[in-house]
Amino acid sequence: MQEDPMSIAFAEAREAERRGEAPIGAALAREGAIIARAGNRTRGDNDPTAHAEMIVLREAAGKLGEHRLTSCDLYVTLEPCAMCAGAISHARLRRLYFAAPDPKGGAVEHGPRLFAQPTCMHAPEVYGGIRESEAAAMLRAFFASRR
């Protein structure tokens, strides 16, 4: 039985934490098949853009040989930031599933609410709050340990 995409995103988040990164993971699926999976890598890669979402979008587009991912769905453990929400829009993703909302850095349900902006060219269907408490606990523990 294939693992569900959100479980893969959580596994990637825990793996990112083991590497000293923020515990955020993502998986990108098309018609039930996992195309790409990744955790945050900003520190390890010295790359300010290496959020989990960006990595799976880039990898999936490369694998599929397309710069748009119209039939793909993204699963991520935290509400995407403005950078990632912008990339999701550029990639024409079909659906976005996320776990914990992010009142401080999120840009989907918080802050600029990018997909609701009049200038937004493409908005995916959005499903937030999946396994929210599990993701929120992981993030709280991480940030508490760094104070």
Q: Give me the active site residues, please.
A: 53
The minimum distance between CB 4 and a second copy, in angstroms, equals 25
Instruction: Say whether residue 72 binds a second copy (CB under 8 A).
Output: no
Instruction: Return the DSSP state at 2.
Output: P
* Among the residue ranges 12-20, 25-33, 58-66, 137-145, the one whose residues contact a second copy (CB under 8 A): 58-66
The minimum distance between CB 53 and a second copy, in angstroms, equals 10
The CA distance from 1 to 27, in Å, is: 17
* Among the residue ranges 27-35, 87-95, 123-131, 136-144, the one whose residues contact a second copy (CB under 8 A): 87-95
The minimum distance between CB 70 and a second copy, in angstroms, equals 11
The CA distance from 44 to 113, in Å, is: 29
Residue 39's contacts (CB-CB under 8 Å, 6 or more residues apart) are 12, 13, 15, 16, 17, 19, 21, 23, 24, 25, 26, 52
* Among the residue ranges 11-19, 30-38, 39-47, 125-133, the one whose residues contact a second copy (CB under 8 A): 39-47
> Around Cβ 37, how many Cβ atoms within 10 Å?
23
Instruction: Say whether residue 147 binds a second copy (CB under 8 A).
Output: no
The CA distance from 108 to 46, in Å, is: 26
Q: Is the dihedral angle over the CA atoms 31, 8, 94, 50 positive or is it negative?
A: negative
- Catalog residues that contact a second copy under the rule CB under 8 A: 42-43, 45-50, 54, 57-58, 61-62, 64-69, 81-87, 89-92, 103-105, 107, 110-112, 114, 117-121
